[in-house]
Each structure stands twice: as C-alpha cells, then as structure tokens.
Amino acid sequence: MSVTRDPKLTLAQALDEIGMSRAAFYRLRARGKAPRCLKMPNGQIRIRRSDLDSWWDTCEVHAC
C-alpha cells in the first residue's frame, strides 16, 4: 500500500512558478489573497502543491 503525499514547495519554488516577487507575495498574504501557507518551526514557509493549484483556480477569470 503506497501513501501519496502532497508535495510541499518552498516559497522560492512557488514564487518562481507564480512569477511574483517575494514582496508582492507578502502583500497578497497580508490581504488574505495568497495561497494557504505552512510555517515551519524554523520560520520558513512551504506551500502545498494542492493549495497552490486551488489558488490558481480562484485566479481564473471567465469571459462573459
């Protein structure tokens, strides 16, 4: 039986994928608009792959 884990991205990996600066990300986070984050005991941030994918879905705009 294999257990599939949800990969966790470092903040740098997520920012590279999003194409956003660290400062812009923290502004989004302060407004509650950033993907859900995990804060590690050492203070670093990780973002679950599924949370980033869900966030991308919320960014999608449908043309009328």
The residue segments making up the domain with residue 20 are 8-58
> Structurally, how many domains does the chain consist of?
1
For residue 53, being part of any structural domain is answered with yes
For residue 51, CA distances in Å to 15, 45, 55, 64 come to: 14, 13, 6, 27
Kindly state the average pLDDT of the residues 11-24: 96
Sorting pLDDT into bands at 50, 70 and 90, what band is 5?
A: confident
The answer to whether residue 25 is domain-embedded is yes
In-domain check, residue 32: yes
47 belongs to a structural domain: yes
Q: Is residue 2 part of a domain?
A: no
| pLDDT reported for residue 63 | 66
pTM of the model: 0.80
DSSP state of 36: P
Residue type at position 60: E
Tens digits of residue pLDDT in 32-51 = 999 999 999 999 999 999 99
At 17, is the pLDDT very low, low, confident or very high (cuts 50, 70, 90)? very high
- 45 located within any domain: yes
Whether 64 is in a domain gets the answer no
